[in-house]
Structure 1
């Protein structure tokens, strides 16, 4: 864990997610949190989590953003004390309008040769996710396959029932 983005929704988390990915980081956003660690998060939200839980869950991930980690950033920080976040010497207060320069300087990265991302404008999260996010695309494919299978099964059963009448 290198970076903990402790920010509320609609404060640039989707833009920062893409920015971190552009800089070469592996990022877990709310899709990934619940896809890969859904049962862990249900338990943590109900009874709490331990430093060991967060170490195990995020040992191979560079960045966490958005829910539910924003609620547990202090515990995640305990598990990964070298991550960039708070206290003050590790904190970046960042305005998306400032673009790549302050973020890259803070992280010690080269400024990418592309515009800074501004995602989820006008609450386009779901339409963007359907088009681009691999977990959402997989879910859609699985849903289409399941619905197709159920439709074929329904037609077959209906045919068998009709033949008996």
Structure 2
């Protein structure tokens, strides 16, 4: 069966140096900013928002192939096509591929951004899980094929892989299992466990990089996440109204009212 990735012609432009295996909402946005400041070209969800239909559809295909037995799995060649412009990758869904990426790029260093499972579950239930499950997101997904649908399908598939879309005890255990498997698989000298308040020193020592001036970046709190989601929601609404005009207005109006009600 033909795969979308087979139509991609991108090649690796630079060696893959860093794979961040920590799950989303464990400081990955802050780590992304830090790695950028250290000179790395990072693949993070935010870097792929310029072309969400391409990137997130490819990531969904990759998860279907590698984890859900729906096609020939991605390996080094496919990851080079998808990630060839980057020398570091992190956040969903990259972190789910940590083992495949480690096999494809065995010399890359692994960073495990860390957070207590209770804190992580609390954050997820304030941010990503409500976004995925809200009916106004699901409604907009039906009509916005350029932004909302690729992102939401990718996120739904990510959590199908992680916990079969069970956002309770099964998700909690999946988090624990994910971290234990990384710790038990990656050689100690190739792995950095990084906690949110560790600062620059352990990261720069691990990467043999000079410590920058100024504090380690801290961003993307639950409030910031939700504010960004709401802003993106309204941008999408405005764009959809321009595209669909009066026929789309009743659905958008209902979705917008529901967003305000749920906020």
5+ long unaligned stretches in structure 2: 1-15, 67-72, 111-185, 247-263
Name the counterpart of 1:25: 40
Structure 2 residue 60 is matched with structure 1 residue 60: no
Structure 2 residue 100 is matched with structure 1 residue 82: no
TM-score scaled to structure 1, two decimals?
0.74
Shift of 1:87: 2.3
Q: Quickly say closer, same or farther: Cα 1:40–1:145, change in 2 above 3 A.
A: closer
Asked if 2 retains the 8 angstrom alpha-carbon contact of 1:54 and 1:75, the reply is no
* Paired residues, number: 148
If asked which structure has higher relative contact order (CA below 8 Å, sep 6+), I would say 1
Q: Quickly say closer, same or farther: Cα 1:78–1:18, change in 2 above 3 A.
A: same
- What per-residue deviation string (whole Å, max 9, x for no partner) do you get for residues 27-61 of structure 1? 11124457252222121222223212112211220
Asked if 2 retains the 8 angstrom alpha-carbon contact of 1:55 and 1:80, the reply is no
Structure 2 residue 62 is matched with structure 1 residue 44: yes
Asked if 1 retains the 8 angstrom alpha-carbon contact of 2:65 and 2:74, the reply is no
Measure the CA separation in 1 of the matches of 2:80 and 2:245: 44
Measure the CA separation in 1 of the matches of 2:56 and 2:243: 26
Name the counterpart of 2:212: 112
Measure the CA separation in 1 of the matches of 2:217 and 2:229: 15
Q: Quickly say closer, same or farther: Cα 1:145–1:120, change in 2 above 3 A.
A: closer
Aligned match for 2:30, one of 15, 23, 38 = 15
Measure the CA separation in 1 of the matches of 2:39 and 2:241: 37
Secondary structure at the aligned position of 2:209 is classed as coil
Whose radius of gyration is greater, 1 or 2?
1
RMSD: 2.9
